[in-house]
Amino acid sequence: MKTFKYLMIGASALVLTACGNSDTSRDLAEANVDYQATLMEQLIDAQPGDVIEIPAGVYSFDRSLSLNIDGVTIRGAGMDETILSFQDQIAGAEGLIVTANDFTLENLAIEDTIGDGLKVNGGENIIIRGVRVEWTNGYATENGAYGIYPVQTTNVLVEDTVAIGASDAGIYVGQSRNVIVRNSRAEYNVAGIEIENCIGADVYGNTATNNTGGILVFNMPNLPQPGYHTRVYDNDIFANNTENFGHAGTPVASVPAGSGVVINSNDQVEIFNNRISDNDTANIIISSLHSTGYSDYSVQTDFDPYPESIWIHDNTYSGGGTSPDGLDLTALKIAMFGLNGALPDVLFDGFVDDAKLVDGALPDALRICVSDPVDVLNADGPNGYASPSVDTEDFRCSLDSLSAVELAFAD
Amino acid sequence: MTVFRGLILIAAAALAACSPNAPTAQFHSEDNPRLLSEWGQLGIVAGDLQLADGVVPYDLNTPLFTDYALKLRTIWMPSGETAAYRENDTLDFPVGTVITKTFYYPLADTPGQVTRGDGHSLTRADGSLDLSRVQLIETRILVHREAGWEALPYRWNDDQTEAVLLRYGDVVPMTVAEADGGASTFNYVMPDVNQCASCHAPDSNTRQIAPIGPKPRHLNRDFDYPDGTANQLEYLTEVGYLTGAPVPADAPRNADWEDLEASLEARARAYLDANCSHCHSPVGPADTSGLNLQPDIAHGPALGICKLPIAAGSGTGDRRFDIFPGRPDESILLFRLDNVEPDQMMPEVGRSTNHVEGIELIRAWIESLPGDCG
């Protein structure tokens, strides 16, 4: 939201130098540096069907690894046993970049990359399992942007992974189709788990805590694929109150600290059966691109900025909203709910597509529905946030449940 | 026009006959020779790097920047083979084509130091190179086999007598003599075979490796051949390496980025084309960003004008727009060019130093752009 955004720029500028919650990175004194050439050759020589096994150990790399052969599995001995460290990296924008189909990466850790940890750019049938991507110095603006980063992929399974310390998103699936992110843990990232411009995503069984924002479902403009149809369920999303340490200019830099779930400009999103608590700004935020500081110059003409067909139900809530990020939100909270009060569990920026209104209201199928017994604050964005109000009854509706993502290798 | 080609080849053969070790170009259809000399495209003869018969050197209107390295580019095809003209794409080269690119630096007066190449090739008209004046770094081979193109990087030895296939690349520490008498250092990073695809797979759907440079708009320029100056498209046609090309005036032509006679717009767009558009196209690996830097894209968000970043991470430089017209210091594009941090710079691979003159060009272009991002 615009108010959020301006405040965030001020807030993050203050904290940049203070970021970092750990004094020391992994000690590489005993790390194996000779393995780099071995693994690079294996990646180059790989044939479809190959399994590249990396034994337990700490391996240091000074350049990116890349793989572009279909049908390859890279397997370590466990995310705490096989450690690929890029602390001494001098070249390459990621730790491992994969451009291939039928790829599996499992049971290892990628640590301290300069840029992204694991990027999978394009490809079908991608499995990322038991992988940890971490910046071992703790959260810091200087850390790489994305931990686990499949983009423009189809049929993607991310499970049992851990992402810690990303200066953008820990687990980020972008512009993909048919995605499952489950049973993973995202901590101390700006965005814990982010689904962006994806068609068909199920996010469940995850824990997102100590991020700036826990789970984000976004649509961004100017991309080849707009996203829709995401289910977020059975997750633990609590205390995502870490200061926003993202780089100014990145979309996530406008996310207020203390955001549990954020839906921005996405459609057909179902949020249910989650345990959401103690996110200091709000447990759930629903917003449009209009409130994130984008101007008309910046957006392709056919982009739909409005979040529509959103259904929030059967979640449990506790705490949250008591210490919103930024002066405007703090002032809003105090004005509406008192010094010791709290913003409601659900915040909506209030932007609605006038062109779709029928008799002054959105058709039922496009509504934002909150079935949970919690309040909804409409921030009145279209009127410059002049008259925010608790309009809970306007959101008392339900939608049809979305279908599950079917992924043959995820059963 | 194989008659011409035959004549030229005969003439070249006559010259080469004087040199006992003259290379003979080969196509290896399957195996990857360990030594560059086994390709026979280039050879060391009497202190020179020389081209084999039928190996045609070429240049580009605006080349890709690679740490101020100079580049010797060549094309060779087996006897009787020819490439078909494609207006906006790389020439359609036949199976058997071998393209080489040799990266080298001018030697400085101080032993062990090099100078920045200023873009003007030190190769002679016949493509030969005086090895007492240069340090060879690597020669990359692109070979068109039945199954498609393959990229093979060869690393030159210190004696400059041979280059060896080094598929996992290398880091080469370089020392550059500076004008003030001092020296600076940087790491020249030779990409591994898989990284070759990060530039040379311009279609992220097919992921097929392909040459990038030999497109009509890059080739459409004069070159000083041993038998006189000629337009490259005409010359390739004359020697039988190209069919279907229109006269040069009817072929697309990029500006030479250094040509002050050309418009700022044309020079900047040519520079972005050569350095960025193989990834930043609607089908390239960087289409994930929504940024399209091909030369024919109209001014708007797709070209980066007032476009907000998607997944740039620290590459934003805390700036909001890819290109903020009139305000280069608020433009992400310039931040990423003027940067050598691996997670912030663009292109992602292929350089470890900043291209000062290229950055100046893009700065001037952004300054010249009208409009506002609000």
Residue A380, min C-alpha distance to chain B (Å) = 22
CB contact under 8 A, A90 and B171: yes
pLDDT at A11: 36
Do B226 and B273 lie in one domain? The reply is no
Asked whether B42 and B23 are in contact (CB, 8 A), the reply is yes
**Is residue B349 in some structural domain?**
yes
Mutation for testing the B interface, residue in A66, A87, A168, A216 having most B CBs under 10 Å: A66
The predicted structure's pLDDT at residue B5: 52
For residue A48, cis peptide bond before it (omega within 30 degrees of 0): no
Judge if B193 and B282 occupy the same domain. no
B254 part of a folded domain: no
CA of B346: which chain A residue's CA is closest?
Answer: A93
* The pLDDT of residue B122: 85
Asked if A66 is an interface residue toward chain B (Cβ–Cβ < 8 A), one would say yes
pLDDT computed for residue A3 by the predictor: 38
Q: Are residues B181 and B275 in the same domain?
A: no
3-state secondary structure of B197: helix
A207-227, pLDDT tens digit by residue? 999 999 999 999 998 888 999
In a domain, B373, yes or no: no
Residue B44, helix vs strand vs coil: strand
pLDDT value at position A380? 93
Give the whole-angstrom CA distance, residue A370 versus residue B37: 71
pLDDT of A222: 86
Same domain as B235, residue B143: yes
Range(s) of the domain holding residue B329: 259-368
pLDDT of residue A295: 66
A96 touches chain B (CB under 8 A): no
Q: Token pair 């839906």 is at which residue?
A: A263
* CA distance to partner chain B, nearest, from residue A49 (Å): 18
A contacts of B342 (beta carbons < 8 Å): 64, 89-93, 114-115
Strand, helix or coil for residue A260 = strand
Is B350 a member of any domain?
Answer: yes
pLDDT tens sequence across B46-99: 899 999 999 999 999 999 999 999 999 999 999 999 999 999 999 999 999 999
| Chain A nearest-CA residue for B319 | A249
Q: What is the pLDDT of residues A71-95, one digit of tens each?
A: 999 999 999 999 999 999 988 889 9
Residue B86: its pLDDT value, please? 97
Judge if B160 and B43 occupy the same domain.
yes
Q: What is the pLDDT of residue A6?
A: 35
Structural domain includes residue B347 = yes
Question: Are residue B269 and residue B223 in the same domain, yes or no?
Answer: no
Residue B248 lies in a domain: no
- Residue in chain B lying closest to A219 (CA): B310
Q: With 80 as the cut, is the pLDDT of residue A336 above it?
A: yes
Inter-chain residue contact A145 with B312, CB threshold 8 Å: yes
- Does residue B181 sit in the same domain as residue B269? no
CB contact under 8 A, A175 and B207: no
Give the per-residue pLDDT at A8. 36
Same domain, B181 and B290: no
Tell me the per-residue pLDDT of B176-204, one tens digit each, with 9 for 90 and over.
Answer: 999 899 999 999 999 988 888 888 888 88
B70 and B130 fall within a common domain: yes
pTM of the model: 0.89
> How much is the mean pLDDT over chain A?
92
Among the candidates B219, B243, B267, a domain finishes at B243
> How do residues A252-310 score in pLDDT, each as one tens digit?
988 999 999 999 999 999 999 999 999 999 999 999 988 876 666 677 778 899 999 99
State the pLDDT at residue B19.
Answer: 55
Predicted local confidence at residue A9, as pLDDT: 34
Residue B250 lies in a domain: no
- Judge: B313–A247 Cβ closer than 8 Å, yes or no: yes
In total, the C-beta contacts within 8 angstroms joining chain A to chain B are 166
pLDDT-based confidence at B337, cuts 50/70/90? very high
The count of domains in chain B is: 2
The beta-carbon neighbor of A41 closest among B168, B349, B372 is B168
ipTM exceeding cut-off 0.85 for this assembly = no
Chain B interface includes A194 (CB < 8 A): no
Q: Are residues B92 and B178 in the same domain?
A: yes
How far apart are the CA of B288 and the nearest CA of chain A, in angstroms? 7
- Where residue B20 falls among pLDDT bands split at 50, 70, 90? low
Q: Name the minimum distance, in Å, from the CA of A291 to any CA of chain B.
A: 14
Query: How near does any CA of chain A get to the CA of B285, in Å?
Result: 7
Q: Is pLDDT above 80 for A180? A: yes
Residue B8 pLDDT: 53
B285 within some domain: yes
Q: Where are the beta strands (DSSP E) in A34-184?
A: 51-53, 57-60, 63-67, 73-75, 82-85, 91-98, 103-111, 116-121, 124-134, 146-151, 154-159, 162-164, 169-174, 177-182
Report the residue of B195, B206, B307, B319 to disrupt the A interface, i.e. the one with the largest count of A CBs within 10 Å.
B195
Same domain, B222 and B283: no
Return residues 110-169 of A near B (CB < 8 Å).
Answer: 113-116, 121-122, 141-142, 144-146, 149, 151-152, 167-168
A318 CB-contact burial (10 Å; exposed 0-12 / middle 13-18 / buried 19+): exposed
Q: How far is B214 from chain A (nearest CA, A)?
A: 24
Is A301 at the interface with chain B, CB within 8 A? no
Query: What's the rounded Cα separation, in Å, for the pair B209 and B203?
Result: 9
**CB-CB under 8 Å, A250 with B301:** no
Give me the residue from B189, B194, B308 closest to A91, CB to CB: B189
- B271 and B320 share one domain: yes
> Mean pLDDT lowest for which of A6-20, A111-125, B60-74, B263-277?
A6-20
A378 pLDDT higher than 60: yes
Long-range CB contacts for residues A190-194, cutoff 8 Å, separation at least 24: A190/A166, A190/A242, A190/A244, A190/A245, A190/A246, A190/A252, A190/A253, A190/A255, A191/A166, A191/A216, A191/A252, A191/A255, A192/A163, A192/A216, A192/A237, A192/A240, A193/A169, A194/A169, A194/A218, A194/A252
What is the rounded average pLDDT of the residues B337-354?
Answer: 93
Name which residue leads in pLDDT, B291 or A18: B291
